[in-house]
Structure 1
Amino acid sequence: MHLLVHESDLPFIKESLRKSHPETRPTHRMEAAAKGLGFSTYASFLTSIKSGRLRIDVDNEMYCAALGVSAIIDGEKRARYLSRSVARAMLRKVLDENPELTLRGFDSIWHGGRDELRKPKEEREALFADRRREAYNDDWAADQFELALIFLSRQKRTKSFNRQVGSYGLKHRAEDLSRAFGLFTYLGNYVSNGMLLAAAFTTGFSVKRVAYDSYNAYLNISMQTVNAARGYERNSRIEENPAIVLSMYAPATDFEPAYSG
Structure 2
Amino acid sequence: MQMDLGTEQRGCAHYRRGCRVVAPCCGEVFGCRHCHNDAKNSLEVDPRDRHEIPRHEIKKVICSFCTKEQDVQQNCSNCGVCMGKYFCENCKFFDDDVSKNQYHCDRCGICRTGGTDNFFHCDKCGCCYSNVLKDSHRCVERAMHHNCPVCFEYLFDSTKDISVLQCGHTIHLECMNEMRAHHHFSCPVCSRSACDMSDTWRKMDEEVAATPMPEIYQKKMIWILCNDCSATSSVRFHVLGQKCPGCSSYNTRETRGGPAPVARSPV
Task: Compare the two structures and name the one with the higher strand fraction.
Answer: 2
Larger RCO of the pair (alpha carbons < 8 Å, separation 6+): 1
TM range (shorter): under 0.3
Q: State TM-score, norm by structure 2.
A: 0.25
Q: TM-score, normalised by structure 1?
A: 0.25
Structure showing the higher helix proportion among its residues = 1
